[in-house]
Amino acid sequence: MKYTKLKLSTIALSLALGLSACSGETPEQKTNTIDSKPAKAMEMEKSKEMQKQGIQSTAMRIGKSAANWQIAQLGNLNYIPESHRAKSENAKFWIQASFYIGLTRWIDATNDRQLASFVKEVAEEEDYELILERPYHADDHAIAQTYLWLAEHADIKEAYKPTKEVFDMILSKPPQVGLNMGDSESSTGKYHLEGNCQLRWCWADALFMAPRAWAQMTKVTGDPKYLEYGDKEFWAAADYLFSDEYGLFFRDSRYFDAKSDNGEPVFWGRGNGWVFAAIPMIIEELPEGHPSRARYIELYKKHAEGLMALQKEDGYWPASLMDPDKVKTPEVSGTGFITFGLAWGVNNGILNDQRSKDIVEKGWSAITQAVTDDGRVHWVQHVGKSPDPVKESDSQLYGTGAVLLAASEMLEWNK
């Protein structure tokens, strides 16, 4: 028996040596080849880890500098055109409120207590109030997202009471208008209405400004009626404005048949950015098992696909999504909102393909090039409702808010 085992072992060794000789490799070379495979894999993993750390480090630098620069300018907004300066100086108005939405997201990602104290001080100075001249208008619900954030994170019950009064009034007298923007323009004092349909959410921007606040109100009060209203009105607007053919949102009904210079439909970059950034934040506010969750995710995926197909080579999304030559310069507010939304999808496992990851990193790289070392965000289209020209020096608070949203998600980047 011992002889047989020894003989078999000898034969096996001879065969192994013979195979090595046939392959042109010595046993020593064969061992080195095998050992080199895990070494290469380890090198690749190390490279990926370094890349991830680099992105996260840049996100921390960009987010911190942008937040601090914008806060430092709040007492001096002379760089903003006079036509929108007074409204930009009003913390309750949507322009500044959009900055706080990005800032509170950044605080959640960094646990920056100094910035949290600043937000609390601003809200206290405003007595947690909304603009009441047009209580139904979505733009004037945007600041409620910050008040409700404070109510949840700092347990300040006073923070949501004024908003609750407005929302309760709306529920007691729900608007009975359609979503067509064809009505004549009107105004309520100094605050403009584009049409009577703005008593509801009949334009794309509204879906960033208001629905999340209604979901937050249900979270802090425990009363489902607020989310029920917000969910119903969101889907009325989304079904009306979303194009299944293009995977994009029209800004409002006036653009259904509009054509750009190249004959393509007019889809506004920031208008789509508003909606695409809102969807993840609404999803996060939904209670576990909410019946609309799957529907929001389905819309998110369709919108993501429509947007990813339109990223320019330089990483930015064009101001006019279907006509990149309409405004050839970068536009950072739309790009910031879209990059945030896509990065959220990757980080949460909804977008898990390499193409999506590459598009996010390309968008983030473009954003970093638009932020100066001191934190000023450039290439931000000013207040409008359609694709308009942009200059490098153009900057606005909602543009910084968009950058903070993107930076907060890139802090979690885990490619």
Helix, strand or coil for residue 393? Answer: coil
Structure tokens at 199: 């008593």
Q: Tokens 């942009």 appear where? A: 390
Q: Please list the residues that pair with 249 across neighbouring strands.
A: 242
Q: Which of 139, 140, 205, 323 is catalytic?
A: 205
Structure tokens at 243: 């194009």
Contact 330, 370 (CB under 8 A): yes
Strand stretches in 163-311, DSSP E: 186-188, 191-193, 242-243, 248-249
The sign of the torsion formed by the CA atoms of 21, 27, 29, 31 equals: positive
Q: Specify whether 183 is catalytic.
A: no
The sign of the torsion formed by the CA atoms of 144, 333, 403, 303 equals: positive
**CB neighbourhood size of 377 (10 A):** 28
Nearest to 216 by CA among 298, 124, 146: 146
Q: Please list the residues that pair with 243 across neighbouring strands.
A: 248
Contact 212, 281 (CB under 8 A): yes
Residue 128 falls in which region: left (phi positive, over 0), alpha (psi -120 to 50) or beta: left
Active site residue ranges: 205
